[in-house]
Amino acid sequence: MCGILFSLATQEHPVDQNEWDVLKELNTRRGPDSQNLHHTQICNGSQDNSLGLQFYSTVLHLRGSDVVPQPRCDPNTGNTLCWNGEIFGGIDVSFGENDTQVLMNTLEKAASETEILSALQSIEGPFAFVYYRASTKKVYFGRDCLGRRSLLWLRSETGAFMLSSVGKAKTNQEDPNVWEEVPANGFYCIDFNVNIANADKNESSELPRACGIPLTLFPWTYVQNQDKLDMLKEGKLVKTDHTRGRLSFPFPRLNTTLPELEMIEGADADTEPAMDQAMKKAVAEFRSVLGESVKKRVADIPYLDTKGQARVAILFSGGLDCICLAALANQHLPMSESIDLLNVAFENPRAEKAKTQPAKKSKNRKPKKNQLEGEPEVKKQVEQEKRSIYDTPDRLTGKAGVEELRQIAPDRTWNFVEINVPYPEAMEYRQRIIDRMFPLDTVMDLSIAMAFWFASRGRGAVHVDGHAIDYESHARVLISGLGADEQLGGYSRHREAYRHGSWERLIQETQLDVDRISTRNLGRDDRIMSDHGKEVRFPFLSTYVVDWLCQQPIQLKMDLRYNRGVGEKILLRHVARELGLVNASRNWKRAIQFGAKTAKMTGESRSEKGQHKLLQE
C-alpha cells in the first residue's frame, strides 16, 4: 500500500499549498515507511506557459527485503512512476522481489505508447498509478479494471490539476473545486503536446481538464478473441488496438448457457444437494483457483516484526466467505505463525434501548469497589453484563467460526480479536471516518466505513484460558471476502431476479453485479483501511478468479431453486464442506452494518435511509 499525490500547475492554475500540505499528511498515513517528493518542469515555448509537475509518494513496505522509495525516477530518461498496488501476475515478479522496481524496469523497456498500455493492462492485482514519460511529454494514470485501489482527481477551473489516493472534504460549500473518484473505466493520458488554445472545448466534456488540457481515455473493453484472452492469462503482452485506443479486460462476459433443470419444492429445497460429476469438477477447480489467489496474497509478506506477531489478519465475521479464506490462508502460511481474526462489534444505544431487559433495574445498582474486589462471582456477573452489549450477530457467528477453524487446524494459533467499540468512542472518531471515506457521503457509507475503520485498526482483546487480554493486531495485510456475493449470487436481489425471470434474469443480474464492481465501494474501503497504514486484499477479486467464475455455467455457482442458506453461493458452500467447515457452510449473508450493529446507532437516525446524504456538520 502506498500513497500517491500528483499536481500539474501553471501560473494561471497554481497549487493550493494548504491543500497540498494536508494531502501530504493524509497520504503519509497510508505509507509510513518512506515519503519523497520529485519535481519536473516542462517548458512549452515560453516561461509563462511552463508546466510544473509534482510527484509525491509514500510507501508501506509489503514486498521485497528492503523499502524501495518512491517516486521511482530514472535519471537518464526523466521518466517517473508513482505506484500504489501489488503485482500478483501478468508481469513476472520473483519471490522476495519488489514489484515497484520490476514495473519501472518493464515500463522503461517499452518502446511505444502501445507497449506501455499493454504492460499495465496485463497486471493481475490491485493498483493505481501515475507514470510520466519524458520523451513524449505524456502523463498516464488510472486504476485497475476492478477499481481495487483509490485514486481521486480534483476538478478545478482555476487551480492545479491534482490526483491523490485520498481527498480533502470541502470546508466551504461554495468552493467550485470538486474531488471525485477517478473512474476505473480505463487509463487516462495528459498529452502536453496538445495546443491548449486550439483544443476543442467540447472534447471529453464529462472529464475534468488538466490546466486546460483535455484528457484522453483508453477504455476497458471485453476481448472477443479467445487467443488474446489466453495470452493475457499467461502474462503475455496483448497489444492494445491503438487506433481505437482500447484496453482488454482479463476476463470474459458471463457464460449465458441456460440450464434445463426441474423445479424443487418442499423439504428438498432445504436439503444440501449431492454433487454430480460437473459439480465435483467445479469444486476441485474453484478450490484450486481460489487457493492460489489466497497464496499469492499471503505468502510473500516480509517479516517486519521480531516478536512473532501475525503477518496476516482476516476481516472476520464468521460468515461463509471470510471463513473459507481463513481456512485457505491456513494452508499457505507456516504453522508456527498466528493468524489474526478481526471481529468488530459496536455498542448501539438504539438497539439496546429496544431490547426487553427484565433485570434492568438491578443492573443499574453497581456494587461498591471493595465488593467487586472481594467477590469473584459479582465481578464475573458485572463483566458478563458488560460484554453482552457486544454480542452482535457477527460476534456470535465469529465465535462459532473460530471454534470450527480450531478443529480443522488445532496446531495453528488463531487470535480471535474481539474489537468492542463503545458508542462514545464511535462518535469520537466519526468525523475522521467521514473525512476518509470522502467523496462518498451517505448514511450507508458511514455505517460500513465505521465498521471497517475500527476493525482494521485492530485494537481489542483475545481470550486466553478464560481471561481477556488486551491485544493489538500489527498485521499489515488484511484479507477480505468482498466479491464473493457479487459473483456467486449472495444478495437478495439475485433471488428476486430468479423469482421474476428464472435463470435468464439471474444471469443478467449477476452480469450487472460484475460490471459495477469497479464503480461501487472499493475505493472507499481502501481509503478507510489504509488510514491505519494497512492494506486490504481481495482474493475473490483476483482477475484469475473472476475469469474462472465468468466461464462457469450459472447453476454451478448458485442454484436458487434451493432455499436461503443452501442455494446461494452453492459452489462456495461445497468448498467449505470440503475444507471441513460444515457448520459455516450453512451461514447466510449478513451485511456488516447489521452484523456489527453500526446501522442506525441512535434514535434520531431511525428515519434515515442508507442512500440519504449525511447532514453537514
* HEC per residue, 372-408: HHHCHHHHHHHHHHHHHCCCCHHHHHHHHHHHHHHHH
**Cα 247 from chain centre:** 23
Q: Which architecture characterizes domain 274-350+387-596 according to CATH?
A: 3-Layer(aba) Sandwich (3.40)
pLDDT given for residue 267 in this prediction: 82
pLDDT (mean) for 188-207: 72
Task: Kindly tell me if the per-residue pLDDT of 617 is higher than 80.
Answer: no
- Bridge partners (DSSP) of residue 421 are 346
pLDDT given for residue 593 in this prediction: 72
pLDDT (mean) for 239-258: 79
Mean pLDDT is lowest, of 94-108, 127-141, 207-221, 592-606, for: 592-606
SS3 for 368?
coil
Task: Kindly tell me if the per-residue pLDDT of 241 is higher than 80.
Answer: no
User: Kind of pairing, strands 477-479 and 312-315?
Assistant: parallel
Span 138-173, pLDDT tens digits: 999 999 999 999 999 998 888 999 999 999 887 776
pLDDT given for residue 613 in this prediction: 75
Burial of 175 from C-beta contacts in 10 A (0-12 / 13-18 / 19+): exposed
pLDDT (mean) for 24-32: 95
pLDDT given for residue 369 in this prediction: 42
pLDDT given for residue 265 in this prediction: 83
Task: Evaluate whether 531 touches 473 at the Cβ level (below 8 Å).
Answer: no
Total Cβ atoms within 10 A of residue 177: 17
Task: Kindly tell me if the per-residue pLDDT of 378 is higher than 50.
Answer: no
| Order of strands, sheet of 178-181, starting from the edge strand that comes earlier in the sequence | 34-42, 51-59, 2-9, 161-164, 152-155, 178-181
Burial of 494 from C-beta contacts in 10 A (0-12 / 13-18 / 19+): buried
| Angle, alpha carbons 434-438-444 (nearest 5°) | 60
pLDDT given for residue 65 in this prediction: 84
The pLDDT confidence band at residue 64, using thresholds 50, 70 and 90, is confident
Task: Evaluate whether 86 touches 54 at the Cβ level (below 8 Å).
Answer: no
Total Cβ atoms within 10 A of residue 195: 9
Task: Kindly tell me if the per-residue pLDDT of 601 is higher than 90.
Answer: no
Task: Evaluate whether 107 touches 118 at the Cβ level (below 8 Å).
Answer: no
pLDDT given for residue 368 in this prediction: 42
pLDDT given for residue 381 in this prediction: 46
Task: Kindly tell me if the per-residue pLDDT of 366 is higher than 80.
Answer: no
Q: Which residues belong to CATH 3.40.50.620 in the chain?
A: 274-350+387-596
Total Cβ atoms within 10 A of residue 547: 18
User: Kind of pairing, strands 51-59 and 477-479?
Assistant: unpaired
SS3 for 335?
coil
* Cell 472481594 sits on residue: 374
Q: Which residues belong to CATH 3.60.20.10 in the chain?
A: 2-248
2 is an active site residue: yes
pLDDT (mean) for 244-259: 90
Task: Evaluate whether 153 touches 140 at the Cβ level (below 8 Å).
Answer: no
* Cell 485494537 sits on residue: 459
DSSP state of 477: E
Cell of 564: 436461503
- Work out the widest C-alpha separation in the chain, in whole angstroms: 85
Q: Which of 2, 82, 189, 211 is catalytic?
A: 2
User: Kind of pairing, strands 247-248 and 178-181?
Assistant: unpaired
Q: Is 309 left (phi over 0), alpha (psi -120 to 50) or beta?
A: beta
pLDDT given for residue 342 in this prediction: 98
Task: Evaluate whether 599 touches 329 at the Cβ level (below 8 Å).
Answer: no
User: CATH topology for 2-248?
Assistant: Glutamine Phosphoribosylpyrophosphate, subunit 1, domain 1 (3.60.20)
| Angle, alpha carbons 452-59-122 (nearest 5°) | 85
The pLDDT confidence band at residue 501, using thresholds 50, 70 and 90, is very high
Looking at the chain, the whole-number percentage of residues with pLDDT higher than 70 is: 84
pLDDT given for residue 435 in this prediction: 94
pLDDT (mean) for 175-179: 81
Q: Which of 209-223, 370-384, 501-515 has the highest mean pLDDT?
A: 501-515
* Cell 460490471 sits on residue: 515
Task: Kindly tell me if the per-residue pLDDT of 243 is higher than 50.
Answer: no
Span 545-581, pLDDT tens digits: 999 999 999 999 999 999 999 999 999 999 999 999 9
| C-alpha distances out from residue 174 to 20, 163, 336, 460, Å | 20, 21, 57, 41
Supply the mean pLDDT for the chain: 87
Higher-pLDDT residue of 196 and 298 is 298
pLDDT given for residue 429 in this prediction: 96
Total Cβ atoms within 10 A of residue 384: 9
pLDDT given for residue 374 in this prediction: 40
Higher-pLDDT residue of 175 and 379 is 175
Cell of 366: 453497581
pLDDT given for residue 45 in this prediction: 53
pLDDT (mean) for 241-258: 82
SS3 for 258?
coil
| C-alpha distances out from residue 25 to 22, 28, 32, 141, 233, Å | 5, 5, 10, 22, 38
- Bridge partners (DSSP) of residue 579 are none
Higher-pLDDT residue of 345 and 239 is 345
